[in-house]
Amino acid sequence: LTLATALDLLPKVELHCHVEGTMRPGTVLELARRHGLTLPTENLDELYSYGSLNEFLAIFWLVQSTLGGRDDWARLGYESVVDAAGHGRVYAEMFFTPARHLEAGQRLADIVAGLAAGIAAAEAETGSKAMLIADIDRAFGPGPGLQLVTELGELRRSGAPGIERVLGVGMDSTELGVDPKSFAEAYRTAAGFGFRLTGHQGENSPPSAIAEVVDVLGAERIDHGLSLVDDPALVRRFATERIPLTVCPNSNIRIANAFPTLAAHPYPKMREAGLLATLNTDDPAMTDLDLGYEYFSVAEAFGYRFDDMVGIALDGVEATWLDETGKRDLR
Ligand code: ADE
Ligand code: ZN
């Protein structure tokens, strides 16, 4: 058994994965044709090419635009969980970002019901579980963010189909030029409905913005949190309070171009500082990644052994939003 195979088989959880970023290129093409959308290329090997975070986000949005309704979301949810299960993922809290679809007139109830139905079918087949986090798309501003969480709360109150899968609320998309504090009302409203809270920050914004997401917005986790290492005092605080970071090292190389190689990534510094730094893929289909390779490449780049990687996987369990019984079942 090679280390790569052992880490592929190792039961793992994932807390930073965008369901739209898991879409198989063949599915993107099929849905685009069905809805009469033109892709920049029909060469599936070239579909996912970009040179910067902004170019990546443009393709991400294009992929999102192929999701035309409930059945498309169900297919995506199903394929996403089946694909991840093939690389040892046993549990996920997975993002979906419906701003574009809601603006285009889709109903949040259909999106949630579709995703939940597809995930349930994949769970029954593979045993791999997935819950959902509804992400605010920062590029749309605070108004649509508040609208999203208000509608989520209404779905929860009315017990809408699939809404029990949505554990929490987060935010993603562009960080530059966006003040995280402007989403305070949306976060307060989400908390009022009982949703758990996380947020993307520090992918390419300073550590002060990370602190705001925790202190002003009340986030329990930070997605990426890469720039945290630039503020040693904040690192100590996050380590002491065990505030989880959902780190995506290969994504930071391939999407954000934050470092030339994986070896230059601060992941080992984060671990050595005692941070609860979990490992995740972010957008595996769009970056040609899977969670097994994420673990293996990190082990190889930093000289971690199998036991070290088991420790990282267990930290992932600690960082989930499961109750103690749920966590114990995964350990
Ligand atoms: N949405 C999907 N992937 C993302 C990333 N890496 N950064 C911000 N928003 C995203
Ligand atoms: Zn992300």
Do residues 304 and 7 make contact, with C-beta atoms less than 8 angstroms apart? no
When pLDDT is cut at 50, 70 and 90, the band that residue 189 belongs to is very high
Q: Which of the residues 14, 93, 151, 203 is marked catalytic?
A: 203
Span 167-186, average pLDDT: 97
* Phi, psi of 92, rounded to the nearest 5 degrees: -140, 150
Residue-wise pLDDT tens digits, 53-99: 999 999 999 999 999 999 999 999 999 999 999 999 999 999 999 99
Q: Is residue 36 part of a domain?
A: yes
When pLDDT is cut at 50, 70 and 90, the band that residue 102 belongs to is very high
When pLDDT is cut at 50, 70 and 90, the band that residue 248 belongs to is very high
Please state, for a pLDDT cut of 70, what percent of the chain lies above it. Answer: 100
When pLDDT is cut at 50, 70 and 90, the band that residue 186 belongs to is very high
Span 316-331, average pLDDT: 98
> What pLDDT is attached to residue 165?
98
User: HSE on the CB side for 140, CA within 13 Å?
Assistant: 21
> What pLDDT is attached to residue 82?
98
Beta-bridged to residue 191, according to DSSP, are none
Please state, for a pLDDT cut of 90, what percent of the chain lies above it. Answer: 100
When pLDDT is cut at 50, 70 and 90, the band that residue 159 belongs to is very high
Which atom of ligand 1 lies nearest, measured to the CA of 135?
A: 1
Euclidean distance between the first and final Cα of the chain, in Å? 22
Distance (Å) from CA 67 to ligand 1 centroid? 18
Ligand 1 cavity residues, CB under 6 Å: 18, 21, 60, 172-173, 200, 203, 251, 255, 282-283
* Phi, psi of 137, rounded to the nearest 5 degrees: -90, 110
Query: In the β-sheet with 245-247, what is the strand arrangement from edge to edge?
Result: 200-201, 222-224, 245-247, 277-279
> What pLDDT is attached to residue 244?
98
Residue-wise pLDDT tens digits, 208-221: 999 999 999 999 99
Helices in 230-305 by DSSP H: which ranges? Answer: 232-241, 249-254, 267-272, 284-287, 291-302
Structure tokens at 260: 């030339």
> What pLDDT is attached to residue 187?
98
Q: For a ligand 1 pocket test, name from 48, 250, 282, 286 the mutation site with the most ligand atoms within 8 angstroms of its C-beta.
A: 282
> What pLDDT is attached to residue 85?
98
Q: Is residue 329 part of a domain?
A: no
- CATH value at residue 42: 3.20.20.140
What is the 8-class DSSP label of residue 204?
Answer: S
To the nearest whole number, what is the mean pLDDT of the chain?
A: 97
Q: Is residue 218 part of a domain?
A: yes
Distance (Å) from CA 158 to ligand 1 centroid? 31
Closest residue CA from atom 9 of ligand 1: 173
Has 318 been annotated as catalytic? no
> What pLDDT is attached to residue 253?
96
Q: How many CB atoms lie within 10 A of CB 23?
A: 28
Q: How far apart are CA 248 and CA 246, in angstroms?
A: 7
Structure tokens at 119: 């995930």
Span 13-33, average pLDDT: 97
Q: Is residue 307 part of a domain?
A: yes
Q: Is residue 129 part of a domain?
A: yes
Query: In the β-sheet with 129-137, what is the strand arrangement from edge to edge?
Result: 12-14, 89-96, 129-137, 166-172, 196-197
Q: How many CB atoms lie within 10 A of CB 80?
A: 29
Q: Is residue 330 part of a domain?
A: no
Run of H or E including 72: helix 70-85
Q: Is residue 91 part of a domain?
A: yes
Q: Is residue 331 part of a domain?
A: no
Q: For a ligand 1 pocket test, name from 56, 174, 253 the mutation site with the most ligand atoms within 8 angstroms of its C-beta.
A: 56
> What pLDDT is attached to residue 28?
97
ipTM, two decimals, is 0.97
Closest residue CA from atom 7 of ligand 1: 173
If one counts the domains in the chain, the total is 1
Nearest ligand to the CA of 250 is 1
Find the domain containing 275 and state its range: 3-324
